[in-house]
Homo-oligomer: A and B are copies of this chain.
Amino acid sequence: MKQIGFIGLGIMGRPMAKNLLKAGYPLVVYNRSRPPMEELIGLGASGSTSPKDVAARTEVVITMVPDSPDVEAVVLGPNGVLEGARSGMILIDMSTISPQVSRRIAKAAAEKGVKALDAPVSGGDKGAIEGTLSIMVGGEPEVFEECLPIFQVLGTKVVHVGGHGMGQTVKLCNQVIGPLTLLAVCEGLLLGARAGADLDRLIEAVSGGAARSWMLENIGPKILDRDFQPGFMIKLMQKDLRLALGLADELKLPLPATSLLHELFRSVEAGGEGESGIQALVKGLERLANFEVRRGVGSNSSP
């Protein structure tokens, strides 16, 4: 089994690293703050002093950090992965970042003989904990094949979607489709609520047909419960939408609904709820409507 290095032990990275340990992979971990590293060491991982040190001691390095500049710092910066890497090492960046930065990193890696994959994930902390992530991978097919056993520990849907940066591109498309689908659910629930429908029955009925979606079935009920605990935080979604709209801007591609969505999330942020789950999107619409969606409110009344 390959020696794996894991850099970035946050809400996503920690459970992913644990799953690799559980699957038997020898693991060297690094995190900017100490406590999550201690936790993993307690479970059998080996600690480390820098990304460079991680790279020097492993065959495959996985990075899972917040944004493009973080990946750049950790990989290209001083004491970064590429300083410690030997030729033949594989770098798997599982963060969600700009496709362009991803391609730049792959290029810099190649100059050191390091093979890179971009492999962003979807499925939230729940998917990370349960090992049921969806993983979209960009890079060379042979490198993908070589790493497939690792990916299969972390996720249940692993798809090689193209060359360098394409994992990121597909992830950004995912981040356009997902929250726009949620927006669909929010406007429908709002109309139902305002017109006095029983919203549980509405979700049940609508889920039977062509308007069915994961968001409707899984996030719809959370909205009825006024449960805004984050599975995925609005501020992180906004970061991803910024990347997606930035990519669209470069490509001269108008995405009017995605833009509107970005503005509506901003309304929720303006209300101080950037750290709520993305289902709080409904609050942007509610603010505009001066009305709140509530389970059963007026469920038998007519408008």
Contacts and interface: CB of A to CB of B under 8 A. Distances in A.
A258 B194 CA distance: 15
A161 B251 contact: no
Interface residues of A, number: 99
Contacts of A242: 249
A303 B263 contact: no
Nearest to A301: B163
Contacts of A253: 190-191, 194, 266, 270, 289, 291
B257 A184 contact: yes
Main secondary structure of the interface of A (DSSP, over half): helix
B208 A248 contact: no
Interface stretch (A29-37, A41-49, A83-91, A166-174): A166-174
Interface string A108-140: 000000000000001110010000011010000
B180 A184 contact: yes
Q: Which of A99, A192, A247 has the most CB of B within 10 A?
A: A192
Contacts of A226: none
Given A162-B300, A178-B210, A192-B169, A256 B260 contact: yes
A10 B250 CA distance: 25
